[in-house]
Amino acid sequence: MRFSGPGPLGRAACGLAGLGWPPFYGRLPLAAMGKNGYISPCATLYHSNLGLNARIFIGDQALIYEDHGGGRIELGAGVHIHRDCLLQTGRDGRIVIGDETHIQPRCQLSAYVGAIHIGCRVEIAPNCAFYPYNHGLSSDRPLRQQPVQTKGGIVIGDDAWLGVGVIVLDGVTIGAGAVIGAGSVVSRDIPAMAIAVGNPATVVRIRAATP
């Protein structure tokens, strides 16, 4: 694993290192065995401005993609991007993911025009989606020709936890330590340490501090 990395030789080294290891979570220990972490040979990295820090894990069939005009994607130390996730930037969008954040399978982070900024130690369950932009809805042209706009992107605070199938929309800030229930659609800000559920996600209580 000391030869691991995003290039062809580094990917080949990860493939050889993974022989004999179980699939999926079974290969997580490999990320700590080399300074460049573990990038599955089955992952696709198609991005010219990708920042990868120490001990990252990028799983099978993950796709990191740069569309026209896409901005930087930065993955902090110890970030896990599990299988079948999509991270893409286009039209000045960018993605920043803080240290030790874990993104479970089949999540989609699609940053066009606006940014997605996810803090440290955030836990994101499978099938979550993040969209920091909207299409116009005027009646004078077809929907596919509508301009794309943003209200300021998406910010997820440190230590937040998003349940299965959460959708986070443009202009939303989820505060540090907040918990979002499974299947919720977050269309407005959620304060720190709140528990929110539903469509639209509504705060049901605030997490009490540990005595």
* Active-site amino acid positions: 135
Instruction: Please list, in sequence order, all residues whose beta carbon lies within 8 angstroms of the beta carbon of residue 77, skipping any fewer than 6 positions away.
Output: 53, 54, 55, 56, 99, 100
